[in-house]
């Protein structure tokens, strides 16, 4: 199967931008982000972890955008997506362990699924010039 490199770059850039958006939103609306994440942040200590998580997401998003710009080989992209998927998996486990099954898990599990599908596709696809 031959993929369009431009479409893949756009998909990767959208994932990166979504991750980057977590930072400013966490600063401007921490309670909303905490609810979306699945763990309340009612105390200053809890908000500190929320901001650390948002900083991590911003850094991962910038990494993805840098890769899109630098156009490394598809396996570098696939490996990076797989590593970022581990973060989504960790977030899902954290939410499930702390708060049980809830709608916020859909965000983490959905992100995990998207990252794994993109990563697996890039690993196996016949596509150059991404």
For residue 42, what pLDDT is reported?
87
Residue 129 or residue 100, greater confidence:
100
Are 125 and 74 spatial neighbours (Cβ–Cβ below 8 Å)? yes
Structure tokens at 47: 């908000």
Could you read off the pLDDT of 17-46 as tens digits, one per residue? 999 999 899 889 988 889 888 988 889 888
For residue 125, what pLDDT is reported?
82
Query: Cα 80 vs. chain centroid, distance in angstroms?
Result: 11
Q: Which residues of 3-42 are buried (b: 16+ CB within 10 A; e: fewer)?
A: beeeebbebbbebbeebbebbeebeeebeebbeebbbebe
Q: Name the residue range of residue 104's domain.
A: 5-124
- Residue 128, pLDDT > 80, answer no
Residue 130 lies in a domain: no
- Residue 82, pLDDT > 80, answer yes
Q: How far apart are CA 54 and CA 52, in angstroms?
A: 5
Residue 53 lies in a domain: yes
Per the structure, how many domains does the chain have? 1
- Residue 110, pLDDT > 70, answer yes
Residue 72 lies in a domain: yes
Residue 129 lies in a domain: no
């Amino acid at each position: 199967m031959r993929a369009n490199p431009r479409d893949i770059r756009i998909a990767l850039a959208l994932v990166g931008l979504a991750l980057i958006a977590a930072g400013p939103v966490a600063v401007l609306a921490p309670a909303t982000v905490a609810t979306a994440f699945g763990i309340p942040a009612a105390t200053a200590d809890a908000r500190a972890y929320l901001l650390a998580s948002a900083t991590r997401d911003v850094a991962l998003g910038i990494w993805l955008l840098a890769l899109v710009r630098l156009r490394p080989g598809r396996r570098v992209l696939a490996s990076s997506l797989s590593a970022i998927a581990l973060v989504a998996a960790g977030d899902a486990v954290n939410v499930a362990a702390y708060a049980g099954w809830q709608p916020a898990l859909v965000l983490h599990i959905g992100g995990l699924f998207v990252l794994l599908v993109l990563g697996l596709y890039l690993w196996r696809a016949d596509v150059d010039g991404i």
